[in-house]
Structure 1
């Protein structure tokens, strides 16, 4: 029963984490001829599934990728000075068992988290590099798409980076690697897969990923068609990709965001845009009547 609950919870989480992947695939495949788009979406999502499962089977490498291999303090980053200042402020706070400690608890927690952030910002890991590169790529490609939309360039006259089927698949696969990292780390955090539970935990994670990708495949085409048919929604989707890119860059430099806030903002913006679409549709019917 416990494994079933973990499977359902993880599959739901994987679907949520896959939303940004679906949006990215929808934008990239929109540059292709109509007859190639469904095939590209399916291959893109299958590659996402393969990447996630491959990363799960190299779990130890993923965990090691989070370990810093270089310290920016060697380049002059004031890590020691900032940590010393924060520790001095903590030392100046009332003792934990004193009467005044209750009021200073929030300040102590804030300073402790600041020390943790400094250490993360100073340490460079392969995960940081992948997230940083992926975030910058998302921002660059989304800004380029918006620029081309404002200058009236059609998909066929867009940048040649994603105009062929093969190039689209390569682009999608590259970003699948970036999106897969968060997905795999979430899976590892939610399911116990150590010692005797390793095989059971791994089977739960693989099953959850397969189920999530199956659900995404069902909704990828309607989502892509809806985005393509409504230019304002496509602009909103590109804005989401910029937001996600900024989040990845922030994660790459050691500043963490609560993704729940970002997903809530995306859902709220979509709800407002759907209301606008319904309003415009209603006014269009009134004028034609």
Structure 2
């Protein structure tokens, strides 16, 4: 209790909490996009249930990982070294890592899975025809089972949860702050899940944009696993810019549709 009281009275702790909540919410966007796209492949009656279970599991995994924080930190220790001398960067440092930790391997595996999943979904989308009948057939063909969807969500929840907790560890040493930040971030995900999934489902072009985001996130995870650290600000700025352009396209289409309906 004394420790919590001291944290409540410490402005630096509040600043760390706010910063960490924002970071966790931003990191949770990747997880949420994947859950939204995957749940939209289910029959309509199961979609909300799948999103609730997926986000609930994300919270449980993050909290469990926080209780085993020493083990999580240990995941960054190298487990093997390829022994390859790669080209050096501008400052004389290796351009990529030859030592790999369990975290690196998990990020690489998660990135490959994301790229495979996004590529598969893009392929199914491009195979669809122009007519509603063909689109309905395409949707039916790519519908997945509820259990399969949950298994895939769990796999990516593990990857994103480990990345999320390691980010939290790097920003504060207070586990209490990490717990509050994680719960707050997942609550935001829970609130935003249905509106985001419904918006993606109503706008087919947004599906392609979201799948492009997943491809990019997959490549970033693989790069991180190989030690090529890409500033997250660049990634999210690119995503925000692309989303802004797509919103302008949506507004333009709706204005044209209203104009046609007016005639």
Partners of 1:247 and 1:257 within 8 A in 2: yes
Aligned partner of 1:147 among 123, 146, 158: 123
1:185-239: CA deviations, max 9, x gaps? Answer: 11111112xxxxxxxx111111111111111111110000000110100000000
Q: How many residues align?
A: 244
Gaps of 5+ in 2: 1-10, 129-136
Partners of 1:30 and 1:155 within 8 A in 2: no
1:17-63: CA deviations, max 9, x gaps? Answer: 10011100001101111111111111111111111111111112121
Q: CA deviation at 1:2?
A: 2.5
Q: CA deviation at 1:78?
A: 2.5
1:125-148: CA deviations, max 9, x gaps? Answer: 111110011000000010000001
Question: Could you tell me which residue of structure 2 aligns to residue 78 of structure 1?
Answer: 85
Aligned partner of 2:146 among 162, 165, 169: 165
Q: TM-score, normalised by structure 2?
A: 0.89
C-alpha separation in 2, matches of 1:2 and 1:253: 34
Partners of 1:71 and 1:123 within 8 A in 2: yes
Question: Could you tell me which residue of structure 2 aligns to residue 189 of structure 1?
Answer: 170
Moved over 6 A (4+): none
Q: CA deviation at 1:12?
A: 1.3
Greater C-alpha radius of gyration = 1
Q: CA deviation at 1:154?
A: 2.3
Question: Could you tell me which residue of structure 2 aligns to residue 205 of structure 1?
Answer: 178
Q: CA deviation at 1:7?
A: 1.6
Aligned partner of 1:43 among 34, 53, 58: 53
C-alpha separation in 1, matches of 2:261 and 2:188: 39
C-alpha separation in 1, matches of 2:102 and 2:187: 30
- Spell out the pairing of 1:106-185 with structure 2 (5 A cutoff): 110-112=90-92, 114-115=93-94, 117-118=95-96, 121-152=97-128, 154-158=138-142, 163-185=144-166
Question: Could you tell me which residue of structure 2 aligns to residue 196 of structure 1?
Answer: none
Partners of 2:127 and 2:138 within 8 A in 1: no
Question: Could you tell me which residue of structure 2 aligns to residue 26 of structure 1?
Answer: 36
C-alpha separation in 2, matches of 1:245 and 1:12: 22
**RMSD between superposed Cα atoms in Å:** 1.5
1:54-101: CA deviations, max 9, x gaps? Answer: 11111121211111111101xxx225xx56xx8xxxxxxxxxxxxxxx
Q: CA deviation at 1:250?
A: 0.7
SS at match of 1:18: helix
Q: CA deviation at 1:240?
A: 0.2
Q: TM-score, normalised by structure 1?
A: 0.81
C-alpha separation in 2, matches of 1:250 and 1:272: 27
Gaps of 5+ in 1: 87-109, 193-200
- Spell out the pairing of 1:65-104 with structure 2 (5 A cutoff): 65-73=75-83, 77-78=84-85
